[in-house]
Amino acid sequence: MIYITGDTHGAYDEFLNRIYKFPITENDTVIVAGDFGFVWNRSENTINLSKLAEEPFMIAFVDGNHEDFDLLYSYPEEEWNGGRVHKIADNIYHLMRGQLFTIEGKTFFTMGGAYSIDKPMRTEGISWWRQELPNSEEYKTAERTLEACGYKVDYVVTHTVPQSVIHYLGIAPDHHDAELTGYFEWLYGKLDFKKWFAGHFHVNKKIRDNVLILSDEVYEIR
């Protein structure tokens, strides 16, 4: 079974309370739609990450905007289920941007990143990192990946969402990440997909039947 949920922000107990409402086993995978937060250069996060590495199930996550990117990118890069990842632990993987993964026979396109609206209250290199938004090479990687699969995937996992979906939430899109949300808007019309999952907005909301924004809810893919 595959389970998808929203931001976890390094909150160990809260995360496990979500997951263990389900009969999860060592054969299952949990995907977090950004702001994983366990990979962070703070003692509490390090302890929680070590405990999470002892869980029996697989954990995979796209990056959000609130990640310690310097630490995250220091982990070894390798291939996992057809796409590139940073291996955090034997059961924890960062799903890199512009990748396609096949998990339990289903394909997942991943593209993390978003803009931090609270950036003015954060400190670069300590609580905010410039890598929060994709760079040109990551967009090129995404293009190559999607061209190779004919722009057809089962599921999309991102942190933020297409611009029109942001409008549905009653929020004005921020110009700081307009390149990313604009790209997602184009992708929304271009891609053949079943469901698009995202986090970021701290709400649980279904939009247009095929976009699910998740906060603390968990969606099952059978």
Q: What pTM does this model have? A: 0.97
**Domain count of the fold of the chain:** 1
pLDDT at residue 172, as a whole number: 81
pLDDT, residue 187, reads 98
- pLDDT score of 85: 98
pLDDT of residue 110: 98
What is the pLDDT at residue 82? 98
Query: What gap in Å lies between CA 160 and CA 177, rounded to an integer?
Result: 9
Closest listed residue to residue 80, CA positions, set 105, 99, 98, 57: 99
Sequence-ordered list of residues with C-beta below 8 angstroms from that of 196, at least 6 positions apart, any chain: 155, 156, 158, 161, 188, 210, 211, 212
Provide the CATH number for the domain around residue 161. 3.60.21
Give pLDDT < 70 ranges for the chain. Answer: none
Residue 63's nearest CA partner among 156, 163, 178, 200 is: 200
Task: Measure the CA–CA gap between 163 and 42, rounded to whole angstroms.
Answer: 34
Which domain does 86 fall in, by range? 2-221
pLDDT at position 19, please? 97
- Report the pLDDT value the prediction gives residue 173, as an integer from 0 to 100: 80
